[in-house]
Copies of this chain bind each other. A is one copy, B any other.
Amino acid sequence: MSKITINVVAARANVSKKTVSRVLNNEPNVSDKTRKKVTDIAEELGYKPNPLARGLASNQSFILGLLYDNPNTNYINNIQAGALQVCQDKDYHLLIHPCKASSDQLVNNVKELISHSRLDGLVLTPPLSDFPELIDFLLTSKTPFVRIGATENLNCSSAVVSNDEQTSYEMTQYLISLGHTAIGFVKGHPQHNSATERFQGFQRALKTANIKLHEKWLQQGDYTFDSGEHCARQILTMNEKPSAIFCSNDYMAAGVLKVANQLEISVPHQLSVTGFDDAPISRYIWPTISTIQQPVEAMARQATSLLIEKLKIPDGEETTVVLESQLIKRESSAPPFKRISR
C-alpha cells in the first residue's frame, strides 16, 4: 500500500525532493506557498517518511533508550507509559532496556547497546540516574541523556526530579500533627538516592519539632516487601514500641502491616503506618496505606521531551525540572492510641 515516497510527493507537487525534505523538517528557506502545497499533497497522499532512510542519511536512528533497573514494576510501567506518549507524538521509537546496576558490566552493556542499536539518546531512571561510572561514560562519549530522579551532579545533564525530601518532611509533619512523637522509620534501598532523600526529610521534620529520633526504631530496608516484614519484626517486638512507622515505600509498609497483624497490633488504632509511592498495593491492602504520590508518568513525559529537545539543540542548556509529589491520607494513619491510664 505505502509505496508513497518522497519522490512521488515531489513529483505531484512539482518541486524537488529537497524542497519536500525541507518542508518535512521545518527548515527555513521555503516560501509559504510552496510549503503549503507540499504539506497538502503529503497529507492527501498519506505520506509518511521512512524512518530508516531518514536515519541512514542523517546518521540518526530516532530511537531513544529507556534504561532501568528497578524491581518496582508499577513505577517502571508508569515511566514507560509517559515516555511512550512523547515518543509517539514526536515520531521517536523507545527501546526498553532493563539492566543490572549491580553488574560490573553495566557500562559495557550500555556502550554496546548504544553503538549497536544506534540510540540517539538515553533516559535514565533511578538508581541508574546516579551511577557515577555510567554518567561519566555518557558524558565523555557525548551521548545525550536525561535523568529521572537524579540527586547528584544536577548540572551535568538535564533532569526531572521530584521533591522527595520535602514531601517526606510533610508526611512526618502530618504524623507529628496527629500527635505522634514516637516514630519509627524504615529506610529504603541504600543504592537508591531517594532512600537518602526520604530519610533526610524525616529527620528534618523531627528536628524542627524537637523530637528525638530513636536509633532503635530506625531500620534499614531495601524497598522490598520482605525487608519491610523483617524490619517490622525488629521494631514491633521491642518492649518500647513507636506509635507510628514511616516506611520509605509502600511495599515495605505492606510488610509492616502484615507483621502488625500477626502480632495483633491494630493499625491505625495502636500503630500508624505510612508509605511512599502510591503503589497499587497501598489501596488493595487493609487498612489502605497513607502514602505519597509522585507524578511518575508526568516526570517521564518531561524527561523524554527534554531529551528530544536536546537532540535538536545539542548545546542547549541543561535544565532541571522539579515536579511536586502529593500526600495521600488513607486509613493507616491516625492519632496515637491513648492508654486509659491512672
Evaluate contact between A117 and B98: CB separation under 8 angstroms. Answer: no
A51-90 to B contact mask, C-beta < 8 Å, 1/0:
1110110000101000000000110110011001000000
Copies of chain A in the complex: 2
A258–B288 Cα gap in the complex (Å)?
Answer: 10
Q: Supply 17 A–B pairs (Cβ within 8 Å), ascending by A.
A: A48-B116, A50-B56, A51-B117, A52-B52, A52-B56, A73-B73, A73-B77, A73-B280, A76-B77, A80-B96, A81-B98, A84-B96, A93-B93, A96-B96, A254-B284, A257-B286, A280-B281
Interface size of A in residues (CB-CB distance below 8 Å): 43
**Given A51-B118, A225-B283; A84-B98 close (CB under 8 Å):** yes
Least Cβ–Cβ distance between A184 and chain B, in angstroms: 20
| A177 CB within 8 Å of chain B | no
Evaluate contact between A96 and B98: CB separation under 8 angstroms. Answer: no
Chain A residues proximal to chain B, CB less than 8 Å: 1-2, 48, 50-53, 55-56, 61, 63, 73-74, 76-77, 80-81, 84, 91, 93-98, 115-118, 225, 251, 254-255, 257-258, 261-262, 280-281, 283-286
B-chain residues with CB within 8 Å of residue A281 when the two chains form the complex: 280-281, 284
